[in-house]
Amino acid sequence: NAGVMQNPRHLVRRRGQEARLRCSPMKGHSHVYWYRQLPEEGLKFMVYLQKENIIDESGMPKERFSAEFPKEGPSILRIQQVVRGDSAAYFCASSPQGQGVHEQYFGPGTRLTVT
């Protein structure tokens, strides 16, 4: 039973390019969460998605960031026109249910470096 998969593990982009981060949840999990860890800071919630629905994107920057979780395929976190301040580790987690006691299981993260 594979865990949460994220790819790529490392991504380098020049300023102004687009970054696409992918997350495949654990088998049987239909709830996905994205968190960001800026250098030397704690993790912060970005967005919570179910299949084909964004439930809460209150932690997403208002511009340039978007997320989706299509019916088929992985969840995608997309960052347009990246800037140096987007350099961070982006972690994805999944769970079988959303609210309540259910544990969130984390992927290995994608480290984005913007040059």
Partner 1 sequence: KQEVTQIPAALSVPEGENLVLNCSFTDSAIYNLQWFRQDPGKGLTSLLLIQSSQREQTSGRLNASLDKSSGRSTLYIAASQPGDSATYLCAVKDSNYQLIWGAGTKLIIKP
The residue ranges that bind partner 1 (CB under 8 A) are 31, 33, 35, 41-45, 48, 55-56, 59, 91, 93, 98-101, 103-109, 111
CB of 41 to partner 1, least distance (A): 7
- What does the alpha-carbon distance between residue 41 and residue 29 come to, in Å, rounded to a whole number? 28
**Contacting residues for 96 by C-beta, under 8 A, at least 6 apart:** 28, 29, 30, 31, 102
Our CB check for partner 1 shows the closer of 55 and 76 to be: 55
Token representation of residue 39: 């250098």
- What does the alpha-carbon distance between residue 24 and residue 40 come to, in Å, rounded to a whole number? 27
Our CB check for partner 1 shows the closer of 42 and 85 to be: 42
CB of 84 to partner 1, least distance (A): 18
CB of 16 to partner 1, least distance (A): 26
CB of 108 to partner 1, least distance (A): 4
Residue 83 neighbours by CB distance under 10 Å: 12
- What does the alpha-carbon distance between residue 111 and residue 115 come to, in Å, rounded to a whole number? 13
Our CB check for partner 1 shows the closer of 10 and 80 to be: 10
Identity (one letter) of the amino acid at 77?
L
Our CB check for partner 1 shows the closer of 18 and 38 to be: 38
